[in-house]
Amino acid sequence: MSISHVDLNALADKYGTPLYLYDQNAMEDKIDAYLDNFVSDRFETQVLYASKAFSCKGMIQLVKQKGMSLDVVSGGELFVAQQVGFDMKKVYFHGNNKSADEIEFALSLDVSTIVVDNYQELLLVDKLAKQLGKKIKVLFRLNIGVDAHTHKYISTALFESKFGMMPDSKAFADCMSYFSDNTNVVFDGIHCHIGSQVFEINAYKLAIDKMVDIISQWSKPLTLNIGGGFGVRYTDEDKPIDTAELCKMLIDYVHKALDDKKVKINKLLIEPGRSIVGEAGSTIYTVGFTKQIPTKSFYFVDGGMTDNIRPALYQAKYDCDVVGKQNEPKTNKVTIAGKCCESGDLIIEDVMLPDAQSGDRIVVYTTGAYGYSMSSNYNKATTPAVVFVKDGNAKVVIKRQTYQDLVANDVDDEWSKL
């Protein structure tokens, strides 16, 4: 059983398990599909990789080579971009509670744009930009009240959401009346992100209608950022839209909405994260013990919620195979459980699989987004290595953590009087 001509058992033997692995060809194909199809003859387009889905130097280097733009949400993600010499003119800085240090860091690197979440942030960005003698473009994150019909933890534009400002709110009105010749912030447009793992093109159409309606208030052509969240296939229940088709539909719909309202924009942005890395990633585990209780059978694996919190956090579903037994009859209904001290530490519940023994490897598919990036050291688990595979070759992009790494920041400091 192999991915990009690399045998999964051989990978597990060489690098150990749990192991995150990414098919580089699959990521490159996705990126190409976005860059080739998200184009318009009427305005500039930019595809931003939402680096929160999976960020490390190897990944951001790939994004850089491909000529994509980047969405970062923290000083840490920005630092990774800086480390690989990412063109800061292609970096957009998001987040609902950026610290002054993070904003200063972004300003000092001359990022393209700060996506401002609230009025207090606008004041802080302007103050810091003045202090540093910088001018900075800002987009405003708007909460446009579109239900993306996804899990409530990844629905981000319902009116109760913590993100952004409502278009008719006092906060947004205050932001809009703030700009003058004396401000160091420059109004460049508006942003929304309706949620993640979204399959309904109609949700995006509704969002585009609302955003174009809002942007029609200004005569100057602005930037419109319609976010990311494009759904991927975790199980057969998920029916993602082909990326090329999705891009064309979005562009056509934006053209239509602009025509209807007689509005012009300068630039259109999208921010896919999951759909670039999700399906390209898999996790290989080794089965330890197996257990039968009257109501269930378990295959215990050597990772769990520490390398994939999504099932415990929002009941995310996955598919898997027993490596080398993928063509055997799937006769056993089993639950793949991790090794953490939490009853919710279940990677997949009640999945049909062939008989597996201790030492067999299990590959869980579509773990490339929000797996490594949400991993933790709970129970002092070490974070698995990350390996990229391509055309029969493999390379480590993140080393497995060691026990020593787990105590590297622990210190036995002297007490000091405060």
Ligand X SMILES: Cc1ncc(COP(=O)(O)O)c(C=O)c1O
Q: Is 229 in the site for ligand X (CB under 6 A)?
A: yes
145-164 residues near ligand X, rule: CB under 6 A: 156
Q: Is 30 in the site for ligand X (CB under 6 A)?
A: no
Scanning 39-47, 48-56, 323-331, 374-382 for contacts with ligand X by CB under 6 A, the matching segment is 48-56
Is the dihedral angle over the CA atoms 102, 107, 111, 117 positive or is it negative? positive
CB of 142 or CB of 351, closer to ligand X: 142
Q: Is 98 in the site for ligand X (CB under 6 A)?
A: no
Q: Which long-range contacts (CB under 8 A, 24 or more apart) does 25-29 make?
A: 25/390, 25/391, 26/279, 26/280, 27/62, 27/276, 27/277, 27/280, 28/62, 28/66
Q: Is 274 in the site for ligand X (CB under 6 A)?
A: yes
Q: Kindly name the residue from 175, 192, 247, 341 that is annotated as catalytic.
A: 341
Which listed residue (193, 339, 361, 390) binds ligand X by CB under 6 A?
Answer: 193
CB of 167 to ligand X, least distance (A): 17
Dist CA 252 CA 254 (whole Å): 5
Dist CA 208 CA 211 (whole Å): 5
Scanning 4-12, 22-30, 269-277, 310-318 for contacts with ligand X by CB under 6 A, the matching segment is 269-277
Which listed residue (8, 19, 47, 50) binds ligand X by CB under 6 A?
Answer: 50
Q: Is 272 in the site for ligand X (CB under 6 A)?
A: yes
Which listed residue (75, 189, 227, 311) binds ligand X by CB under 6 A?
Answer: 227
Q: Is 77 in the site for ligand X (CB under 6 A)?
A: no
Q: Is 228 in the site for ligand X (CB under 6 A)?
A: yes
Dist CA 18 CA 3 (whole Å): 16
Q: Is 71 in the site for ligand X (CB under 6 A)?
A: yes
Q: Is 279 in the site for ligand X (CB under 6 A)?
A: no
341 catalytic? Reply is: yes
CB of 272 or CB of 384, closer to ligand X: 272
CB of 58 to ligand X, least distance (A): 18
CB of 191 to ligand X, least distance (A): 7
CB of 179 or CB of 199, closer to ligand X: 199
* Residue 107 φ then ψ, to 5°: -65, -40
Is the distance from CB of 4 to CB of 390 less than 8 angstroms? yes
Which listed residue (3, 6, 11, 53) binds ligand X by CB under 6 A?
Answer: 53
Binding-site string for ligand X from residue 360 to residue 379, where x marks contact by CB under 6 A and - marks none: ---------x----------
Scanning 80-88, 131-139, 178-186, 273-281 for contacts with ligand X by CB under 6 A, the matching segment is 273-281
Q: Is 304 in the site for ligand X (CB under 6 A)?
A: no
Q: What are the residue numbers of the active site?
A: 341
Q: Which residues contact ligand X (rule: CB under 6 A)?
A: 50, 52-53, 71, 94, 156, 193, 196, 227-230, 271-275, 369
